[in-house]
Amino acid sequence: MRQKAVVMIESSTTGRLFHAAAKRLGCLPVLLSEDAGKYRDLDPSDVVTVFANTRSIEAVAEVCGRLRRTFEVEAILSSSGAYAAVAAGACRVFGLAGADPDAISRCQNKFEQRTQLKAAGLATPSYKSVTTPRDAAEFAAAVGLPVIVKPVVGSGSMGVRLCENLSEVRAQTSHLLRAADFASSPGVLVEEYIDGPEFSIETVGRIVIGITAKHLGPRPFFVEVGHDFPARLPARVKKQVTFAVMTAIDALGLHWGPAHSEFRLGPKGPVIIEINPRLAGDFIPELVKLAYGIDLVEETIKLALGRPVNLTARANQCAGIRFLNPDRDGVLRWHCDPARARAVEGIIEVEIHAPEGSPILRRGDFRDRIAHVIAATPRSDHTITALEQALALLDARIAERRDR
């Protein structure tokens, strides 16, 4: 009998969790990647890596066809939202369980997604897709400053910036139109800034798992520096948000698999910022597991394998994560013992991302993080206190860089 395999297209912060879950379910994890060496936490003993052009459904299907000569390929998926449409398309080629690739593609285009949500009668920020700095400035002036300028297609807060004046709008638009990192984006989205706390709601199909409170770093960027799960919100607000997100999922055709929907509580109520047709990143699935006992990664793989899933909460804890980001560029110097942070009551995990001597060049997105701490306790205030205490013990100092 041939070994069963789960094919993963590229990876993300939750990629290693997918590999481990596939093994627990009796399947060999196979990673398709254009460059597997870019994943710092990838253990070669945990996963078989195969080179593939992961931007192409046809190329992925061709590689999977070859793999099927050796393995029983029972699922194709990705932990990264950037490759969700490719994974869904490859599933369709082989008749495997998966999302609608056309719905995924439309959803990943932030302009098309906004248009669909607006047509469904949902509250969204005012927005416009532009291809010149002049058009961006004209719309910003009309809608009112500040505005958010970001790529039409993108993830991880990359290229997202709050612009306070028209000069910043023109400069950011020009940057996004020229930068290689955003070459695949079909333009720039300028949108109204909704002032208010930010949250996300985690769903699988039409099943709501819970709501996550998000903590953002300083302006002008939107770097997420922490999450709390479950969020403390009034029942009335939870009901409003749940109704809005379910309406959005129906409008976008995202009826299969996990989704990570971001919203803000603005002056007039909840406003959907965007729907991501994937499982949440940033260790949120680990927070859900600590708080509710639901392993979203494993249940997602079960769904892809066509096996029964169990999304019922089996615990009642409060979990959180905080990321440590540098406040300046330079060279990283650690002046602490992480063991002290790990010893704080309630702390589950302390991880250093960047070693001593690492060059620091901030980009204003998730790549700036140099460490994180995770905690779980029966009470949200106790969890937050543990996170703050542990993070304070991670003494990172940025020295001036002296290039020779």
The torsion defined by the Cα of 370, 320, 374 and 21, in degrees rounded to 10, comes to -100
Q: Is residue 278 annotated as part of the catalytic site, yes or no? A: yes
Decide: 223 and 325 in contact? Cβ < 8 Å: yes
Residue 119, helix vs strand vs coil:
helix
Closest CA to 152 of 124, 177, 119: 177
The structure tokens listed for 334 are: 């650690």
The helix/strand/coil state of 268 is coil
**How many Cα atoms within 13 Å fall on the side-chain side of residue 178?**
7
- Residue appearing with tokens 């790990």: 342
Phi, psi of 270 (to 5 degrees): -65, 135
Q: Coil, strand, or helix at residue 203?
A: strand
Catalytic pick among 161, 278, 322, 369: 278
- Return all residues near 236 (Cβ < 8 A) that are at least 6 apart: none
Amino acid at site 199 = F
Q: Cα separation of 226 and 230, whole Å?
A: 13
Report, as residue numbers or ranges, the catalytic residues: 278
